[in-house]
Amino acid sequence: MPLLECVPNVSEGRRPEVVDRLISAITAGGGVRLLDVSSDPDHNRTVLTLAGEPEPLHEALLALYEEALAAIDLTRHEGVHPRVGTVDVVPFIPLGDTPMEVAVAAAHRLAPAVAGRFGLPVYLYERAARREERRLLAAIRRGGFEGLPAKIADPAWAPDHGPARVHPTAGVTVIGARFFLIAFNAVLDTADVEVARAVARKVRESGGGLPAVRAMGVYLESRGRAQVSMNLVDFRRTSILGALERVRREAEGLGARVMESEVVGLVPEEAALGVVRDALQLPGFPAGKLIEDRLRR
């Protein structure tokens, strides 16, 4: 059977007891592996990484929506990360030899099921999008939860599934299929969020920066630091190290430096090996250079 990764992003990162209930809902039916849980109080967001076959993933995600909608009220939600829904975004990613068409089919199946069961407006994005202007998640999110009533009233932004009205506590949800995305953040040694925003403008692709990089500057209240928060949407075009080096250079030009970096969720092995290739200037790495690979043969 084809294997998929799914990375639901939920608008809750401050109440561990709620996150625990979400995890219990996902794992109750079996057949789905929970690979990672990353919660952040400043972003007020939890990223769950799941893997499984399409059918058990479908059932687990419906259980996740049911629990999330019961436990989270978006009208009371605050955080630095953009969001439009309680279950904000649910991307499917093909693993191994699974073709992208399987991920697209999983998204196209889940979307009407969520809309029908929960009365949620659903938008399809990336490879599952049915309209070109909805391929980018940022375009759907523009205006945030607070701007949704006006946006959804525009016929051009009628949802792909579900009612053309915002759910009062859960907003909307965005479901799609895509390549691996690496959520990579750099924490600066300054509390000045304008420095982080200036760096983000220089780094992101839309500002003439690095290809396949999306970035924003935010203030982390819990740390008293500014952060450059990035999505590397294709590590084959811009590597983790390439993104970090550019952030370092731009930050230093503004009198700041990178204190530490962090990865939210998981990264593909190939992306991690790419960091070593870049740093050591070893274009053929690993090519038989890993002891563990030899031992597995």
The model carries a pTM of 0.94
pLDDT in tens, the chain (297 residues): 789 999 999 999 999 999 999 999 999 999 999 999 999 999 999 999 999 999 999 999 999 999 999 999 999 999 999 999 999 999 999 999 999 999 999 999 999 999 999 999 999 999 999 999 999 999 999 999 999 999 999 999 999 999 999 999 999 999 999 999 999 999 999 999 999 999 999 999 999 999 999 999 999 999 999 999 999 999 999 999 999 999 999 999 999 999 999 999 999 999 999 999 989 999 888 878 888 888 877
Statement to judge: residues 156 and 215 lie in one domain: no
* Domain co-membership, 96 together with 238: no
Are residue 24 and residue 167 in the same domain, yes or no? yes
Q: Do 29 and 125 share a domain, yes or no? A: yes
Instruction: Report residue 257 as tokens.
Output: 């430096």
81 is catalytic: yes
The answer on 56 and 15 residing in a single domain is yes
Contacts of 186 (CB under 8 A, 6+ apart): 227, 228, 230, 244, 247, 248, 251, 258, 260, 261
Identify whether residues 13 and 142 lie together within a single domain.
yes
Structure tokens given for 194:
């304008």
Q: Are strands 225-232 and 213-220 parallel, antiparallel or unpaired?
A: antiparallel
In a domain, 289, yes or no: no
Residue 248 lies in a domain: yes
Q: Which domain holds residue 241?
A: 182-280
Residue at 81 is within a domain: yes
34 part of a folded domain: yes
Residue tagged active-site, from 58, 81, 161, 167: 81
Domain end marker among 177, 202, 232: 177
Residue 239 to residue 242: CA distance in whole angstroms: 5
End-to-end CA separation in angstroms for the chain: 25
